[in-house]
Amino acid sequence: MKTLREYIKEADEKGVAIGHFNISNLEALHGIYNAAKKLNLPIIIGLSEGEEDFVGREEAVALVRAIRERDNYPIFLNADHHYSFESMKAALDAGYDAAIIDAVKLPLEENIVLTKKCVDYARELGKIQNRDILIEAEIGFIGTSSKILDKLPEGVSEATMTTPEDAKHFVEQTGIDLLAPSVGNVHGMVRGGNPRLHPERVKVIREVTGIPLVLHGGSGSINEDFVACIKEGIDIVHINTEIRIAYRDAVKKALINNPEEVAPYKILKGAVIAIEQVVESRLKLFNGIK
């Protein structure tokens, strides 16, 4: 099986993007995997620090690894938004394929120092264990919460978008494999509509850095913006809030329609289907499938 790095390179050459979807339970994992397998596309499963605490770090590795080995399927595990060297190290030591060190709250040069430490550790661990581990970092600001928002988070604006100059400097100083820029995207979904994305900014950042770019905060963005940004250099797109909403609504419907039901596997079947439908729709969009 090809490595995640090879699948990203392949997506870039084809002008498509790999879908990255977060989980905090089995229903999400099954829904995401069902959609990916149906379309025969590689998939990335992400767990933030909070999601990881709930699922279990080693448990998440075991779940994804079991599917990958059983079905010989390109499903990969990413430590999404880990905020310290220690949490990133623990995830990689447990067997995650990739990790995002999120130090955007630090001044740029401090972010560089922490990110470089993570990159160096991943390289060292990769050599020892013969693994190709990817490290991603984020610069610019896109907020922090994957939830429904009444308004844009304070600090998210064109003024805090990633500049090509900062992106180039950051990549050169850290040696990261993937960069998550701020290009109009925002974590969560804003009532009334998310801001528009800036594919022209994506293009310039990709040109000056020369590495694959990742779009965080994809939930709620319009289809045309996704397509335009993928065309200009986005190789991975993160979706979380959309599947959280699909899960919540499906569970709520099941409980209302069957108030006497007590078997979780019966209550939660609809949630798996709802998540699968969202993921399938997004994967088709990211890969130009009608």
For residue 132, indicate whether it is catalytic.
no
Domains: count for the chain: 1
Query: Dihedrals φ, ψ of 8, to 5°?
Result: -65, -45
Active-site residue among 80, 97, 177, 225? 80
Alpha-helical regions (H) of 72-222: 85-94, 108-129, 164-174, 199-209
Q: One digit per residue, pLDDT tens: the chain, 290 residues?
A: 899 999 999 999 999 999 999 999 999 999 999 999 999 999 999 999 999 999 999 999 999 999 999 999 999 999 999 999 999 999 999 999 999 999 988 999 999 999 999 999 999 999 999 999 999 999 987 766 665 655 555 555 677 789 999 999 999 999 999 999 988 777 666 666 667 788 999 999 999 999 999 998 777 778 898 899 999 999 999 999 899 999 999 999 999 999 999 999 999 999 999 999 999 999 999 999 98
The neighbouring-strand residues paired with 100 are 136
Listed in sequence order, the residues at least 6 apart from 165 whose beta carbon sits closer than 8 Å to its beta carbon are 208
The neighbouring-strand residues paired with 47 are 79
Q: Give the model's pLDDT for residue 144.
A: 62
C-alpha dist (Å) from residue 152 to 10, 33, 148, 184: 34, 31, 10, 11
Q: Give the model's pLDDT for residue 142.
A: 72
Say if CB 229 and CB 204 are below 8 A apart. no
Instruction: Say which CATH number the domain at 210 has.
Output: 3.20.20.70
Q: Give the model's pLDDT for residue 146.
A: 63
Q: SS3 for 104? A: coil
Question: Tokens 């609504």 appear where?
Answer: 249
Query: Dihedrals φ, ψ of 44, to 5°?
Result: -115, 130
Per-residue pLDDT tens over the stretch 268-288: 999 999 999 999 999 999 999
Domain of 170, in residue numbers: 4-286
Tokens of 265: 């596997």
Q: Give the model's pLDDT for residue 222.
A: 82
